[in-house]
C-alpha cells in the first residue's frame, strides 16, 4: 500500500457467449508517485483492460486497485465517475477532441467540471499552443491536437495521467515531441504518468516498465536512469 | 449468386445490429402509412358500409310522391319504364303514436313484405320479433321504441296529428299490437326528419301491413333501378339516377297528369251537370211559380169580381128592402090615412046618422058644421042638406038624404072592409119583406163567407207562393254558391305536383354521406403532411446510416463490388423497413382508424357494423410510396459516398469542422452564456442540416397538433358564435308559399299572441342561386318584413371587429362564406338567379359573420325595386320567452301547426343539438389526429435524437471518461434536443396557424364556415405536448446514454 498506484491480483473476465475470456488474470503491479510508467504489450495482452480499470472506466471482478490510498475496485459507478473527474487525466490515441470547440474550449470542457482546475490558456501555453488556442481541432495538426488533449488532461490537475497509445496516430517525429511533453510534464510537475503502448521502443524513457503478456504481468522493471525521448529511435 | 447472398446476410445482420434505427424507420413508416391509409380508407369504408347496407336492404333509389297519390295505373306505368327492377307502392301517413305514457309524432309506413321479392323495398332490419303481416299488427322503430319504452307485445294506439278528427279515411283500425322492433334503411340518421303536423318533429316510424291502410290511393312509389350495387361507380349511379328521374318524371307527367285531368274533367263535368240540373230546376220551379202566380192572380180577380158582385147584390138587396120598406111604410101611411079618414068618415057618418033628418038639429051650429063636413063624404050631401033644410019637408030630399047616408054608410063599410083588406095585405107584405130581408141577408152572408174563404185561400196561396219563391231563391243561391265553390276549388287545385326524390332526399342518407365526405376532407391534407414528415425523417436516418458505413462501403468498393451491389444493401434496408412497417401500419390503419371514427359517427346513426375491406389499391400505393420514399432517401444518401474513391472512403471522414457562430459576435449576449450553453449553441449551428430536420420534423408535428386542436375549436366555435352571437331567434315557422298577406299578418299576430313567444318577425325567405366572380351557389335570400327589427333576430356584423352592419336599400348583405365561395367583396355585384324571374344584379354593401348556411339579406324596398312587387312573407322568426323550455316549444309548435298555412316549425335548439352531436364525433377524429400527430412527434424526436446520439457516441464516451456525471452528459445532449424541439415547436405553432387555416378551408363544406380564430389553448396544448414528448424522449435517452460504453472513446474513428 506504500505505492501510489497498486494493482493486486486483479481479475477481469468477459463472457462472450459460452466462452469466458479472462482479460486480466491476476494482474499485480505498482507505480510510485511522480513516476513515468510504461505498460507495454502486444495486441490482446490485456493492456486496454488494465487501462480501463485503472481509468475507472470499468470495474474488476477480483482484486484491489489502489490509487493514492483508495481502493477504486470497490467504487460505485458514481464514485468512479467522480474518480475520473477529479483524479484522472486521460490522453486518447485519437485525441477525442470535441470538433466543435476551439482548443481552449476543449480544455475548458474539462476545467468546467473540476474543483481546482488550471487556467486553460496557461495550460495550452504550457503545451506550446499559446498561439493556437482559438483554433478548432480541424485547423490543427495531429500533434497539436494531441497537445490539446494533453492540456485538457493536465488542466484538471489529476493525480494520474493515463495515456492510451498517445503516439499511435502520429508520425514518429510528432510522436516523439508528444512523448517529450509527457516526460517533461512528469519531471517538471511531479505528475504520475502511465503510458500504455504496444511500442517496445519507447520503454527506455520510462521510470518503470510493466510488460503484459496473455493477460498477466510478465515482468515489471524499474529503470533507474531513463533516457530522454530525444535519444530514442524507432 | 453467392455475393448477393452474402450481401443479403450482411443486410440482415446490419438490421439486427441497428435494430433501433430499423425499428424507428419501421415505426415511422408504419405510422405514416397506417395513418394515411386509415384516414383515407375511412370515408370509402363508411360509404361502402352504408352502400352495402342499402343494397342488402333494397333501399329505394327513387321515391315518387304526388299530391294526388298514385293508383294502380300509375304503378303499371312506372313498371313499364325500362331499367326499373322493383316498384313498391306504399302508404305513408304522419300521425301520433300513443301509449299510456307516450304521445309521439311518427310516420306510419305500409310494408311491402307481402309483395314479390323484387318489389319489397326498404326492407327493415328486425331487431326483435317479426314484421307485421296482418291488419292490426305493427313493428315500431327500434330507436323510438327504446326511448318510449315500447316492447314487443304492447298495444299502441294511432291517432290523428293533423286537422282530421279521426283516421277513418286512413287506417282500418287504430289499435295495433307491436309484433316487432325494427330499423329501417330509410332512417339511418337518428334525426327522423320533419313533419307538418304535431310538433313538427318526427320521433320515428311505425310499420304496418298494407292491409291496415284504407287510403284510396298510394302516397308513395318506391323504386329500385337495375344496376349492380357492387360495381357501380358514384358517377355512373348519379348519371343513372338523373336519367331515370327524368324518365320517370315524364312517365308520371303522362300518367298522373292524365289522371289529374280525368279527375279534373270528372269534377268539371259534375259541376256542369250540377249547373244544368240547377238551371233546369230553376226553370221548372220558376214556371211553377209563374203558374201559381197566375192562379193567384185569377183568384185575386175572382175575389175582386165576387166582391163587386157581392157589393152589387148587397146594394140591390138593400135598395129592394128599402123600397119595400118604403112601400110598406107608404102603404101603412096610406092605410093609416085611410083609416083615419075612414074613422073620421065613420064618425061623421055616424054623427050624420045620429043627427038624422031633424032639421032642427040640422040647422044648429053643430048640425051646420056637420053638414059642411059632410061634403068630404059626399059632395052632394051638403047640397042635399041644404036643399032639405030649405025644404025640410021634402021627403024626397029626406029620403035622398037618408039614402045617401045609407049609401055612405054602406060605402064606409065597404071601405072598412077594403081597409081591413089593405091592412091584411100590408101585414102580409111586411111579413113577406121580413122573410125577404132574412133571405137576402143570409144570401149575402153566404156570399161574404165565400168571399172570405176565397180571400183566405188567396192569402194562403200568396204566402206559400212567397215562401216557395224564397225557397227557390235560397235553393238557387245555395246551388249557385256550391257550384261557384266547386269551380273555385277546382280552379284552386294546382296541377298535381309530383316529386321525384332520389336518395339524397333522405336526411339520413345525405347526412351520413356528408359526414363521410367531411372525414375525407380532413383526409385530404393531414395524412399527406404526415407522410412528408415521415419521409423527411427516413431521409435523415438513412443518410446517417450511410455515413456510419463509410468505411465498409469503401472496403466493399475496394473488393470490387459494383455501386449497384453496394447500394442495394442500403436500399434493401430502407425498403425492408418500409415494407415491414407498412404491413402493421396498414393492418392497424385499415382497422383501427376507420373503426374509431365510424364508431364516433354511429352515435348519431343506426347503421350496421362497419365493413373493413382491405383496400389493396391504397395499401399498394401507400407501401409503394413509403418504399420509394425511403429507397430514394437511401439512394440519395448513398450517392455521394459511392462516387468517392475507395481510398477516400477508407480514410476516416474529415470531421465536420467547428466554426464560430454569428452569435459570438454579439459579445454581450455570448458572454452571458455559460460555457456549456455556448457549446450547445455551437453544436446546434454546426449540424445545421440536422437542426433543420429536427426543427422541421417537430414543427410538422406541432403544426399538426395545433391544426387538430384548432380544428376542434373552430368547429365547436360555430355553436357559440352562430347560435349565441348571430342567430337570436329560437323558432322558425314556415308558412305556405301561397299564403296571402292578410293571412300572413294574422298568423304573425297569432304567433305573437301565444304565451310562449316573446316577439315575432315575418320574413320572406327564398332559396335561389346567386353568382359572383367564381361561381354559382345556392343561398337563402332573406327579406325581413321589418328591417329595423331584424337585428333582434339576426346580428349582421363583420367577423373581425364585430362592427354592426345595417341593411340598406342600396344593396344586399351576404355572409362571409358565400363571399369566399363566390369570390366577391363589398362593392362587387351579386347576380341573383331565378328560374321564374329575371336575373337581377345587386351591389354587395356588407359581408356579415355567419357560420351555417349561406344568406343574402335585403330590405323589402330593395326587393320591390328589383322584382317590381313586394316580397311575400313566408316564414316567421319567433323569439321565445324561454328558449330552453322544450315543453313550451312543443306546446307552441302544436298550436302553430294547428293553423292552416303553417307548414312546419323548426326549433333552433334541435339544430344546436344536432350540431353538438356532429361535433362530438369530430372530437374523436380530432383526438385520433392529435394522438397520431403526437406519436409522430414522439417517433420523430426519438429518431432524430437517436441519430444525434449515435453520431456522437464517441464524444459522449469521451465526456464520460472526462468524468461527466450521467445527468451532465445527458444534459449536454438533451439541451440541444430541447432547444431544437423548442425551435421546432415555435415554428410549428406558426406553421400551425397556416395549416389550421388550410385544413379548416379544405374540410369545410359549402354550407358551413368553421371558426377562423385559433384559441390560445390550441397553441398551449400543442406546445406543451410537444415539450412533454421532448422530455419523454430525453428521459428515454438518458438511459440510453447511460449505457454508452466509455470504451467507445478508445476506438479508432471509422
| Distance (Å, whole) CA B779 – CA B762 | 19
Q: Do A138 and B963 touch (CB under 8 A)?
A: no
Residue A211: phi, psi to the nearest 5? -100, 130
| Distance (Å, whole) CA B35 – CA B768 | 41
Q: Do A94 and B654 touch (CB under 8 A)?
A: no
For residue B1, is pLDDT > 50?
Answer: no
A139 in contact with chain B, both atoms CB, cutoff 8 A: yes
- DSSP result, B406-428: HHHHHHHHHHHHHHHHHHHHHHH
Reported as a pLDDT band with limits 50, 70 and 90, residue B649 is confident
CA distance B937 to chain A (A): 28
For residue B2, is pLDDT > 50?
Answer: no
| Distance (Å, whole) CA B584 – CA B33 | 9
The 10s digit of each residue's pLDDT in A109-146 is 888 888 888 888 888 988 888 888 888 888 888 889 98
Residue A115: phi, psi to the nearest 5? -80, -40
Reported as a pLDDT band with limits 50, 70 and 90, residue B784 is very high
| Distance (Å, whole) CA B408 – CA B411 | 5
B1043 in contact with chain A, both atoms CB, cutoff 8 A: no
The 10s digit of each residue's pLDDT in A179-212 is 888 898 888 888 899 999 988 888 898 999 999 9
The pLDDT value recorded for residue B152 is: 92
Q: Best residue in B953, B960, B962 to probe A by mutation, most A CBs within 10 Å?
A: B962
| Distance (Å, whole) CA B632 – CA B693 | 17
| Distance (Å, whole) CA B961 – CA A56 | 8
For residue B176, is pLDDT > 90?
Answer: yes
The pLDDT value recorded for residue B4 is: 54
The pLDDT value recorded for residue B796 is: 92
The 10s digit of each residue's pLDDT in B513-568 is 877 887 787 777 777 777 787 777 877 888 888 877 877 788 888 887 788 888 88
| Distance (Å, whole) CA B374 – CA B344 | 10
The pLDDT value recorded for residue B721 is: 82
Q: Which three cell numbers stand for residue B931?
A: 394522438
Q: Which residues of chain B from 616 to 655 reach within 8 Å of chain A, CB to CB? A: 654-655
Query: Residue B84's beta-bridge partner residues?
Result: B225
SS (H, E, C) B336-402: HHHHHHHHHHHHHHHHHHHHCCCHHHHHCHHHHHHHHHHCCCCCHHHHHHHHHHHCCCCHHHHHHHH
Q: Do B964 and A113 touch (CB under 8 A)?
A: yes
For residue B298, is pLDDT > 80?
Answer: yes
Q: Best residue in A100, A101, A113, A141 to probe B by mutation, most B CBs within 10 Å?
A: A100
The average confidence (pLDDT) of chain B is 83
A49 in contact with chain B, both atoms CB, cutoff 8 A: no
Q: Do B963 and A55 touch (CB under 8 A)?
A: no
B657 in contact with chain A, both atoms CB, cutoff 8 A: yes
Give B-chain residues touching A93 at CB under 8 angstroms. 1050, 1052
The pLDDT value recorded for residue B1053 is: 61
The 10s digit of each residue's pLDDT in B201-228 is 788 999 999 999 999 889 999 999 988 8
Q: Do A81 and B960 touch (CB under 8 A)?
A: yes
Q: Which three cell numbers stand for residue B190?
A: 337518428
B1049 in contact with chain A, both atoms CB, cutoff 8 A: yes
Q: Do B683 and A52 touch (CB under 8 A)?
A: no
Closest listed residue to residue B478, CA positions, set B283, B284, B282, B289: B282
The 10s digit of each residue's pLDDT in B134-167 is 888 999 998 888 888 889 999 999 988 766 778 8
Q: What average pLDDT score do residues B317-329 get?
A: 82
Q: Kindly report the CA angle at B272 between B266 and B277, in degrees rounded to 5? A: 125
- Interface A-B: count of C-beta contacts within 8 A: 94
CA distance B13 to chain A (A): 17
Give B-chain residues touching A102 at CB under 8 angstroms. 658
CA atoms within 13 A on the CB side of B61: 25
CA distance B668 to chain A (A): 18
B737 in contact with chain A, both atoms CB, cutoff 8 A: no
Q: Do A85 and B964 touch (CB under 8 A)?
A: yes
- Contact yes or no for A148/A106 (Cβ under 8 A): yes
| Distance (Å, whole) CA B505 – CA B517 | 17
What is the C-alpha end-to-end distance of chain A, expressed in Å? Answer: 36
A92 in contact with chain B, both atoms CB, cutoff 8 A: yes
- DSSP result, B815-856: EHHHHHHHT--TT-EEEEE-SSS--EEEEEEEEE---BS-EE
Q: Do A113 and B962 touch (CB under 8 A)?
A: yes
- Contact yes or no for B231/B551 (Cβ under 8 A): no
Q: What average pLDDT score do residues B276-290 get?
A: 86
Q: In what order do the strands lie in the sheet with A62-67?
A: A19-31, A5-16, A62-67, A70-71
Q: In what order do the strands lie in the sheet with A208-213?
A: A88-91, A160-164, A192-197, A36-40, A208-213, A216-222
For residue B691, is pLDDT > 70?
Answer: yes
The pLDDT value recorded for residue B652 is: 64
- The ipTM of this complex is 0.90
- Nearest chain A alpha carbon to B1053: A94
The average confidence (pLDDT) of chain A is 87
Q: Three-state SS for B780?
A: strand
Strands B137-141 and B175-183 turn out to be: parallel
| Distance (Å, whole) CA B268 – CA B265 | 5
Class of residue B64 by CB neighbours under 10 A (exposed 0-12, middle 13-18, buried 19+): buried
Give A-chain residues touching B656 at CB under 8 angstroms. 99, 138
B178 vs B506, higher pLDDT = B178
The 10s digit of each residue's pLDDT in B863-909 is 999 888 888 888 899 998 887 777 888 888 888 888 878 877 888 87
Q: Which residue has the cell 180571400?
A: B455
Beta-carbon contacts of residue B832 (< 8 Å; ≥ 6 apart): B768, B769, B770, B781, B839, B840, B841, B842, B856, B866
The pLDDT value recorded for residue A188 is: 87
A35 in contact with chain B, both atoms CB, cutoff 8 A: no
Q: Which of B625-639, B759-773, B815-829 has the lowest mean pLDDT?
A: B625-639
The 10s digit of each residue's pLDDT in B719-758 is 778 888 888 998 888 887 777 888 888 888 888 888 888 8
Contacts 24+ apart (CB under 8 A), B884-892: B884/B909, B885/B756, B888/B756, B889/B199, B889/B730, B889/B731, B889/B756, B890/B199, B891/B756, B892/B731, B892/B754, B892/B756, B892/B757
Give A-chain residues touching B964 at CB under 8 angstroms. 81, 85, 113
| Distance (Å, whole) CA B701 – CA B852 | 30
- Who among B654, B659, B1053 is closest to A94 (CB)? B1053
Beta-carbon contacts of residue B280 (< 8 Å; ≥ 6 apart): none
Classify residue B884 by its DSSP letter.
T
Give A-chain residues touching B1053 at CB under 8 angstroms. 94
Q: In what order do the strands lie in the sheet with B62-70?
A: B84-90, B218-225, B62-70, B498-502
The pLDDT value recorded for residue B656 is: 63
Q: Which three cell numbers stand for residue B402?
A: 037618408
The 10s digit of each residue's pLDDT in B404-455 is 778 877 887 887 888 888 888 888 888 888 888 888 888 888 888 888 888 8
Q: Do B675 and A105 touch (CB under 8 A)?
A: yes
- Contact yes or no for B104/B202 (Cβ under 8 A): no
The pLDDT value recorded for residue B177 is: 92
A88 in contact with chain B, both atoms CB, cutoff 8 A: yes
The 10s digit of each residue's pLDDT in B610-642 is 888 888 888 888 888 888 888 887 888 788 777
Amino acid at each position: 500500500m506504500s505505492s501510489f498506484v497498486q494493482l493486486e491480483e486483479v481479475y477481469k473476465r468477459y463472457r462472450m457467449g459460452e466462452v469466458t475470456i479472462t482479460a486480466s488474470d491476476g494482474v499485480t503491479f505498482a507505480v510510485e508517485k511522480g513516476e513515468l510508467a510504461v505498460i507495454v504489450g502486444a495486441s490482446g495482452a490485456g493492456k486496454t483492460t488494465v487501462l480501463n480499470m485503472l481509468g475507472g472506466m470499468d470495474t474488476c471482478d477480483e482484486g484491489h486497485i489502489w490509487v493514492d490510498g483508495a481502493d477504486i475496485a470497490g467504487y460505485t459507478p458514481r464514485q468512479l465517475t467522480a474518480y475520473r473527474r477529479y483524479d484522472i487525466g486521460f490522453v486518447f490515441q485519437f485525441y477525442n477532441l470535441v470538433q466543435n470547440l476551439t482548443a481552449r474550449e476543449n480544455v475548458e470542457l474539462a476545467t468546467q467540471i473540476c474543483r481546482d482546475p488550471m487556467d486553460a490558456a496557461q495550460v495550452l501555453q504550457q503545451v506550446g499552443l499559446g498561439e493556437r488556442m482559438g483554433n478548432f481541432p480541424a485547423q490543427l495538426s495531429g500533434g497539436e491536437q494531441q497537445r490539446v488533449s494533453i492540456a485538457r488532461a493536465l488542466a484538471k490537475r489529476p493525480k494520474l495521467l493515463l495515456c492510451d497509445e498517445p503516439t499511435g496516430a502520429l508520425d514518429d517525429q510528432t510522436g516523439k515531441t508528444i512523448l517529450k511533453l509527457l516526460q517533461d510534464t512528469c519531471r517538471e510537475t511531479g505528475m504520475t504518468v502511465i503510458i500504455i503502448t504496444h511500442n517496445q521502443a519507447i520503454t527506455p524513457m520510462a521510470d518503470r516498465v510493466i510488460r503484459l503478456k496473455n493477460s498477466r504481468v510478465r515482468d515489471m522493471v524499474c529503470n533507474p536512469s531513463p533516457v530522454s525521448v530525444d535519444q530514442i529511435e524507432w | 449468386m453467392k455475393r448477393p447472398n452474402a450481401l443479403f446476410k450482411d443486410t440482415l445482420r446490419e438490421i439486427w445490429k441497428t435494430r433501433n434505427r430499423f425499428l424507428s424507420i419501421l415505426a415511422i413508416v408504419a405510422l405514416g402509412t397506417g395513418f394515411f391509409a386509415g384516414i383515407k380508407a375511412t370515408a370509402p369504408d363508411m360509404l361502402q358500409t352504408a352502400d352495402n347496407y342499402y343494397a342488402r336492404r333494397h333501399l329505394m333509389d327513387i321515391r315518387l310522391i304526388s299530391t294526388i297519390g298514385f293508383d294502380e295505373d300509375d304503378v303499371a306505368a312506372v313498371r313499364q319504364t325500362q331499367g326499373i327492377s322493383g316498384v313498391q307502392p306504399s302508404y305513408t301517413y304522419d300521425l301520433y303514436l300513443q301509449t299510456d305514457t307516450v304521445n309521439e309524432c311518427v310516420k306510419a309506413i305500409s310494408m311491402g313484405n307481402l309483395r314479390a321479392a323484387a318489389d319489397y323495398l326498404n326492407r327493415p332490419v328486425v331487431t326483435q320479433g317479426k314484421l307485421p303481416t296482418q291488419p292490426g299488427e305493427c313493428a315500431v322503430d327500434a330507436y323510438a321504441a327504446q326511448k318510449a319504452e315500447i316492447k314487443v307485445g304492447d298495444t299502441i294506439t294511432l291517432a290523428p296529428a293533423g286537422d282530421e278528427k279521426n283516421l277513418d279515411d286512413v287506417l282500418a283500425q287504430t289499435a295495433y299490437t307491436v309484433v316487432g322492433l325494427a330499423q329501417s334503411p330509410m332512417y339511418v340518421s337518428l334525426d327522423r326528419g320533419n313533419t307538418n303536423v304535431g310538433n313538427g318533429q318526427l320521433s320515428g316510424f311505425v310499420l304496418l301491413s298494407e292491409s291496415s291502410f284504407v287510403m284510396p290511393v298510394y302516397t308513395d312509389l318506391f323504386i329500385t333501378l337495375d344496376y349492380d350495387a357492387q360495381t357501380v361507380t358514384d358517377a355512373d349511379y348519379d348519371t343513372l339516377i338523373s336519367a331515370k328521374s327524368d324518365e320517370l318524371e315524364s312517365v308520371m307527367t303522362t300518367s298522373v297528369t292524365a289522371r289529374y285531368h280525368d279527375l279534373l274533367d270528372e269534377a268539371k263535368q259534375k259541376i256542369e251537370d250540377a249547373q244544368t240540373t240547377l238551371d233546369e230546376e230553376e226553370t221548372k220551379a220558376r214556371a211553377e211559380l209563374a203558374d201559381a202566380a197566375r192562379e193567384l192572380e185569377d183568384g185575386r180577380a175572382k175575389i175582386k169580381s165576387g166582391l163587386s158582385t157581392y157589393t152589387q147584390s148587397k146594394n140591390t138587396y138593400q135598395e129592394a128592402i128599402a123600397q119595400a120598406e118604403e112601400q110598406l111604410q107608404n102603404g101603412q101611411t096610406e092605410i093609416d090615412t085611410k083609416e083615419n079618414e075612414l074613422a073620421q068618415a065613420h064618425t061623421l057618418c055616424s054623427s050624420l046618422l045620429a043627427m038624422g033628418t031633424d032639421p032642427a038639429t040640422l040647422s044648429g051650429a053643430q048640425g051646420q058644421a056637420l053638414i059642411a063636413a059632410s061634403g068630404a063624404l059626399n059632395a052632394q050631401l051638403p047640397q042635399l042638406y041644404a036643399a032639405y033644410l030649405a025644404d025640410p019637408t021634402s021627403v024626397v030630399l029626406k029620403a035622398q038624404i037618408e039614402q045617401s047616408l045609407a049609401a055612405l054608410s054602406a060605402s064606409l063599410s065597404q071601405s072598412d072592409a077594403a081597409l081591413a083588406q089593405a091592412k091584411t095585405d100590408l101585414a102580409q107584405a111586411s111579413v113577406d119583406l121580413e122573410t125577404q130581408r132574412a133571405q137576402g141577408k143570409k144570401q149575402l152572408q153566404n156570399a161574404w163567407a165565400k168571399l172570405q174563404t176565397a180571400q183566405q185561400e188567396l192569402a194562403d196561396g200568396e204566402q206559400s207562393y212567397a215562401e216557395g219563391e224564397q225557397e227557390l231563391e235560397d235553393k238557387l243561391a245555395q246551388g249557385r254558391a256550391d257550384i261557384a265553390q266547386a269551380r273555385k276549388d277546382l280552379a284552386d287545385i294546382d296541377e298535381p305536383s309530383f316529386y321525384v326524390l332520389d336518395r339524397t332526399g333522405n336526411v339520413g342518407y345525405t347526412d351520413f354521406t356528408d359526414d363521410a365526405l367531411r372525414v375525407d376532407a380532413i383526409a385530404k391534407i393531414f395524412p399527406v403532411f404526415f407522410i412528408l414528415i415521415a419521409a423527411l425523417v427516413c431521409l435523415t436516418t438513412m443518410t446517417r446510416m450511410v455515413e456510419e458505413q463509410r468505411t465498409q462501403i469503401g472496403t466493399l468498393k475496394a473488393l470490387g463490388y459494383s455501386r449497384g451491389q453496394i447500394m442495394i444493401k442500403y436500399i434493401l434496408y430502407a425498403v425492408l423497413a418500409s415494407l415491414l412497417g407498412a404491413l402493421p401500419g396498414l393492418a392497424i390503419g385499415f382497422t383501427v382508424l376507420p373503426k374509431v371514427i365510424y364508431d364516433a359517427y354511429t352515435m348519431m346513426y343506426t347503421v350496421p357494423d362497419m365493413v373493413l375491406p382491405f383496400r389493396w389499391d391504397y395499401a399498394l400505393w401507400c407501401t409503394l410510396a413509403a418504399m420509394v420514399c425511403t429507397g430514394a432517401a437511401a439512394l440519395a444518401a448513398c450517392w455521394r459516398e459511392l462516387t468517392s474513391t475507395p481510398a477516400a472512403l477508407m480514410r476516416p471522414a474529415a470531421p465536420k469542422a467547428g466554426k464560430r457562430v454569428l452569435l459570438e459576435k454579439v459579445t454581450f449576449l455570448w458572454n452571458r452564456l455559460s460555457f456549456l450553453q455556448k457549446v450547445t449553441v455551437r453544436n446546434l449551428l454546426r449540424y445545421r442540416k440536422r437542426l433543420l430536420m429536427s426543427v422541421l420534423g417537430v414543427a410538422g408535428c406541432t403544426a399538426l397538433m395545433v391544426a387538430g386542436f384548432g380544428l376542434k375549436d373552430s368547429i365547436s366555435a360555430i355553436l357559440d358564435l352562430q347560435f349565441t352571437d348571430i342567430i337570436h331567434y329560437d323558432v322558425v315557422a314556415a308558412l305556405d308559399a301561397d299564403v296571402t298577406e292578410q293571412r300572413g299578418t294574422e298568423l304573425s299576430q297569432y304567433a305573437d299572441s301565444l304565451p310562449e313567444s316573446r316577439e315575432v318577425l315575418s320574413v320572406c325567405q327564398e332559396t335561389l342561386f346567386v353568382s359572383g366572380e367564381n361561381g354559382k351557389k345556392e343561398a337563402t335570400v332573406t327579406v325581413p318584413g321589418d328591417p329595423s327589427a331584424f337585428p333582434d333576430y339576426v346580428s349582421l356584423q363583420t367577423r373581425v371587429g364585430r362592427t354592426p352592419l345595417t341593411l340598406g336599400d342600396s344593396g344586399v348583405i351576404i355572409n362571409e362564406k358565400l363571399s369566399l365561395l363566390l369570390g366577391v367583396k363589398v362593392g362587387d355585384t351579386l347576380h341573383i338567379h331565378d328560374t321564374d324571374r329575371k336575373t337581377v344584379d345587386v351591389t354587395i354593401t356588407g359581408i356579415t359573420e355567419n357560420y351555417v348556411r349561406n344568406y343574402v339579406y335585403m330590405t323589402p324596398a330593395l326587393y320591390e325595386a328589383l322584382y317590381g312587387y313586394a316580397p311575400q312573407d313566408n316564414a316567421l322568426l319567433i323569439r321565445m320567452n324561454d328558449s330552453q323550455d322544450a315543453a313550451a316549444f312543443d306546446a307552441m309548435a302544436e298550436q302553430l301547426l294547428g293553423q292552416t298555412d303553417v307548414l312546419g316549425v323548426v326549433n333552433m335548439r334541435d339544430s344546436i343539438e344536432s350540431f353538438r352531436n356532429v361535433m362530438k364525433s369530430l372530437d374523436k377524429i380530432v383526438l385520433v389526429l392529435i394522438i397520431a400527430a403526437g406519436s409522430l412527434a414522439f417517433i420523430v424526436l426519438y429518431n432524430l435524437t437517436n441519430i444525434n446520439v449515435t453520431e456522437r457516441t464517441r464524444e459522449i464516451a469521451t465526456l464520460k471518461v472526462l468524468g461527466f456525471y450521467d445527468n451532465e452528459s445527458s444534459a449536454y445532449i438533451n439541451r440541444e434536443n430541447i432547444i431544437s424541439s423548442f425551435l421546432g415547436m415555435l415554428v410549428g405553432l406558426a406553421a400551425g396557424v397556416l395549416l389550421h387555416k388550410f385544413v379548416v378551408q379544405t374540410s369545410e363544406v359549402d354550407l358551413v364556415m368553421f371558426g377562423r380564430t385559433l384559441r390560445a389553448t390550441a397553441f398551449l396544448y400543442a406546445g406543451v405536448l410537444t415539450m412533454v414528448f421532448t422530455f419523454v424522449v430525453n428521459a428515454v435517452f438518458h438511459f440510453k446514454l447511460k449505457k454508452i460504453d466509455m470504451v467507445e472513446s478508445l476506438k479508432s474513428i471509422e
